[in-house]
Structure 1
């Protein structure tokens, strides 16, 4: 089987991250740290790695302009403010002796509404040419999408690999429990549009990296 979304999204802490984290258990660090999101990460779990609790969720979201704290992407690089980490941990220790309770947050893929494309107004003489161009573009996009589906799963909607599901090997959290063919198609289109802009661009990335 070809490299799947786990390979796509699996990244390790960068050298800067390794140097930035001193003790993940107590949230102590000496400088701002760059952290690369890996499969299964949430802002809650990342906060616990650095501070031992959920106190950093809001500051991480604010520092990295994350509007939805339940949605982060594998491979995304986040800046963790180490000074905030140390300050938050010290303040928590001074104000309470109760052990912090880790909040588990499952990343949920939001449903993105595709922006309707306004049809271009063309003169009668240009109608045939515009129609031909649109048909050719749609055929290319469909071909690229099918090409990726075959590379990822052999075109099977029931293919699985760990938490990667279906025809396009999407994370189970992205599908939000709905593994139907229709939902797989919809979520795959949303994912590719938001990350690459088009299936053709996603195919080009796949050819260069072996995943998308």
Structure 2
């Protein structure tokens, strides 16, 4: 019986080494974590944004700006090691990227000299964003986003009232950033929130 266990164990080890010791390209199963975007995931695996469209296609993601914490993504890699932890990527254009969940602890963001410094409370951060996004107008529109906080109209469910805009904006910021201060800090670094 002992020799049978030894043979089975040895065969299992050999098979395992055969699978994991090959140089064939393998897919990686990645679980989305808080703060991830397709852009940060692509940067972790490729060092740039070149995998964003491929990840979306391979995982049947229709909106590349929307992923969820816990979602498992198949990522085709070339066998090179990936960066261990997701990193925040500074946007170089005005594309919107939605993170999976609010970032609880963010690394300090170094501000450019042309950006304003911020110190204040939630209401002043909220007002600051409203002024940047719409000049404070509940009826503002950029052709797609609407209202004082330039929200996706789908979030508003057809109710563009000031009360609903306030409620939805508060929920969006709480879910995504945890606080209006964090949202403002992100806006100051990226030009959007």
Normalized against structure 1, the TM-score is what?
0.41
Q: TM-score, normalised by structure 2?
A: 0.45
Which has the larger share of helix? 1
